[in-house]
Structures are given as C-alpha cells and as structure tokens.
C-alpha cells in the first residue's frame, strides 16, 4: 500500500486509473479501515472546489476531494445546509469519501441519509471511462438511479470525480432536550415513542454514556417552546443551552467519544438495540482495572449504532454478538475485518460491480 498517486485534475485521474492495475481512492483519511487494502492509493485531495452552486435551485456540484467543511461554509453563507449531518467534517472528511463510506449523522432521522440527497455523479470506472450518471437538478427521472449505488460503495465501483447534491434551507430555530434514562430498554422506549409522535424531532440519539437520550427539535421558536414543555412533562430531562447542545452534536459527529481502537457502524433496529447494547457493554476488558472495552452511540431512534471497541479480543466478541442477532457492521477505523457480524450479499450489487469494474481494477467489497 506504499505506492501513491495524486491527480490534480480529472484528466489526470482518468490516466491514473487507466495506467494502474489495482487502486483504491482515498479522501481525507477519517475512516481509514475502508481503504486498508493492498492497492495503489489514489489521493483525491488535489481535486477540490465547488464547480456549480445555485442557491435558488438548492443544488451544488463539487469535486470529490473537496473537504465537506468548505461546502458547509459556502452553504451557510446562503442560509442552507446538508440536513443529514455529515460526519467527521472538522476532521477533514471529503465529499467523495463521505459518499463512499455511506455514513450519515443524527439528522438522517428526520430528513433521510445522504443517499436521499445525492443527485448525480461523474466518475471513472474500472475500464478507465469517464461517465456521468444522474443529473444536476432535483426533478430528474432519466435513467437508472446509479448514483445511489455509490453511497457506501467504499471506492470499489469506481473513482468519484464530482458529485451533485440537493440542499435544504437552514433551520429557523432548534432546541435540544436531554432526557435521563435508566438502561437501554428505557432509552429505546423513549426513542420509539418520540419517533412516532407528532413532534417530528430533528434527531433522536442515545449518548455513549447510555444514560441520556437527546431529542433535537427544529422549527419556529414559539412552537419549539410549546413542544419542549409537553415533552418534559412526559419524561424527566432538561433543555440544553445552545452551546451545550452544539458540543454534544459536534462530539457525536466527530466521534470524539470513541476510543482509539476499532470503530464499527452497525445497521440496527429498535427491537434489537436494548439486548445488543446490554450484552456488548457487559463484555469485560482483557485487563482488570481498565476502562470498559465497549462504548456505543445509538442514532436515528435505534436504526444505526456506532460502536467503539478498545480491545482486540473484545472486538471478536462483538462480532459474535452481531452474528447472533443477524445484524451487519462496517469497520470504519482500527484493525479487524472490514465487515462484522452477519454479512449479506445481493445479486444486484455483484452485477453493478461486474458492469463497472469487469477487470477487478478496484478491490472487491469483501476486502
């Protein structure tokens, strides 16, 4: 993995793909396990910049190596944002890496994940062709919706060159309520009830301490005041200040709560959440007196979890638990297999891989 290429333009990227028998694109390196394969690394940082941005159309197109932070700043100046809460923005995540990893933040609960915001892509496939799929407008129904296959593709279908997204207007106002819970069962119960309520929370996340559920509300300030009173009359909790709320959501987006070991994204359901979390947190560290080996942040009202594992032996135990419950996980950083738990394969994914990379120039989805 020592060989590296650093194209600074799309023609250079095309030539890099055509001249390299095995390669993997690398963005900001915020989720390093995804590119930890035996292949020439194509560093995408030289392809950066917003190509088109039409605030009145609520769309933008940017090169894949553009840091998401730059895009967020440009959108903010026009009163717009990406509602799915991109992760690792401050750490340097790029637009292409964000799409390839398929990781969305707390805002995915109300607005959907990044899959719901991607409109079009321009990419280099395994035969060295520069292709465009999708479009640059919101109302686009032409052709097979291939851009969505690049969400979570891990750079295995091709190298993204530029991407078009739709965006939303910034929130008028927001408020975060921190609700106290005793155990995963209570947290899951609150999350499910809040998700099915008329309050329409912006985000529903259980913090890594396992003792708090945070509800983020968005809308007119007067409405938020009334909704907050109703929620706090039902469950014990408090309203966080703006600075307290921003710190919590920022820490979650940047994985500041996680240890230095393995970090796994797990597809979950609210029904499985309490049992899996209780068993995972109960795993003991290899050495007595050391901190708990497992920490867990449950997001999107129990539909996704991020698990931090500090012990290699414990990592295997977590994988066994996941297989027991039939859930699949993706390792974002740290040592260990790329996929954990019950790995499912689909024929359509294999067909897309074969069509776009018949020469296996890029690693397989199993590497």
Burial class (CB in 10 A: 0-12, 13-18, 19+), 172: exposed
CATH 3.30.465.10 in the chain is located at: 4-169
What's phi and psi for 61, nearest 5 deg?
Answer: -130, 130
H or E element in which residue 131 lies: strand 130-134
Q: Does domain 174-253 have CATH number 1.10.10?
A: no
In terms of pTM, does the model score above 0.85? yes
Summarize pLDDT for 61-111 with one digit per residue, the tens: 999 999 999 999 999 999 999 999 999 999 999 999 999 999 999 999 999
More confident residue, 251 or 314: 251
Q: For the domain 262-341, what is the CATH code?
A: 3.30.70
Residue 360: predicted pLDDT: 95
- Average pLDDT for the chain: 92
Region 205-229: what's the mean pLDDT?
Answer: 96
317-361 pLDDT, tens digit each: 888 888 988 999 999 999 889 999 888 888 888 999 999 999 999
What six digits make up the tokens of 242? 């703006």
Cβ atoms of 204 and 255 within 8 Å: the answer is: no
Tell me, which fold does domain 4-169 have in CATH?
Answer: 3.30.465
- Element at 178 (helix H, strand E): strand 174-180
CA distances from 244 to 86, 178, 239, 251 (A): 20, 10, 10, 11
Question: Do residues 367 and 37 touch, judged by C-beta distance below 8 A?
Answer: yes
The angle subtended at Cα 229 by Cα 223 and Cα 231, nearest 5°, is: 100
Helix H or strand E encompassing 159: strand 159-166
The pLDDT confidence band at residue 156, using thresholds 50, 70 and 90, is: very high
Residue 286 banded pLDDT, cuts 50, 70, 90: low
All CATH 3.30.70 domain ranges of the chain, comma separated, are 174-253, 262-341
pLDDT for 19-42, tens place per residue? 999 999 999 999 999 999 999 999
| φ and ψ at residue 87, rounded to 5 degrees | -95, 155
């Amino acid at each position: 993995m020592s060989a590296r290429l650093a194209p600074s333009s799309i023609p250079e990227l095309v030539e890099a793909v055509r001249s390299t028998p095995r390669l993997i694109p690398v963005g900001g390196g915020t989720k390093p396990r995804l590119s930890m394969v035996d292949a020439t690394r194509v560093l995408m940082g030289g392809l950066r910049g917003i190509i088109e941005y039409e605030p009145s159309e609520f769309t933008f197109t940017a090169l894949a190596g553009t840091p998401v932070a730059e895009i967020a700043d440009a959108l903010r100046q026009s009163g717009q944002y990406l509602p799915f809460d991109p992760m690792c923005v401050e750490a340097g995540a790029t637009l292409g890496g964000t799409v390839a990893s398929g990781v969305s933040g707390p805002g995915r609960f109300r607005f959907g994940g990044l899959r719901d915001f991607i409109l079009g892509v321009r990419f280099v496939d395994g035969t060295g062709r520069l292709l465009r799929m999708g479009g640059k407008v919101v109302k686009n129904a032409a052709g097979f919706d291939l851009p969505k296959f690049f969400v979570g593709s891990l750079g295995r279908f091709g190298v993204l060159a530029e991407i078009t997204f739709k965006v939303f207007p910034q929130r008028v106002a927001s408020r975060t309520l921190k609700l106290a819970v005793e155990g995963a069962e209570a947290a899951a119960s609150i999350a499910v009830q809040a998700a099915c309520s008329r309050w329409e929370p912006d985000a529903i996340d259980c913090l890594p301490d396992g003792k708090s559920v945070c509800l983020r509300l968005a809308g007119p300030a007067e409405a938020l005041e009334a909704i907050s009173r109703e929620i706090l009359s039902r469950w014990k909790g408090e309203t966080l200040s703006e600075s307290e709320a921003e710190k919590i959501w920022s820490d979650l987006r940047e994985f500041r709560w996680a240890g230095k070991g393995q970090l796994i994204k797990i597809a979950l359901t609210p029904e499985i959440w309490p049992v899996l979390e209780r068993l995972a947190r109960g795993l003991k560290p290899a050495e007595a007196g050391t901190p708990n080996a497992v920490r867990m942040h449950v997001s999107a009202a129990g539909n996704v979890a991020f698990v931090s594992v500090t012990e290699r032996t414990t990592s295997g135990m977590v994988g066994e638990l996941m297989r027991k419950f039939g859930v699949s996980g993706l390792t974002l950083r740290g040592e260990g297999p790329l996929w954990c738990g019950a790995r499912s394969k689909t024929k359509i994914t294999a067909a897309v891989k074969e069509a776009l990379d018949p020469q296996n120039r890029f690693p397989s989805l199993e590497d």
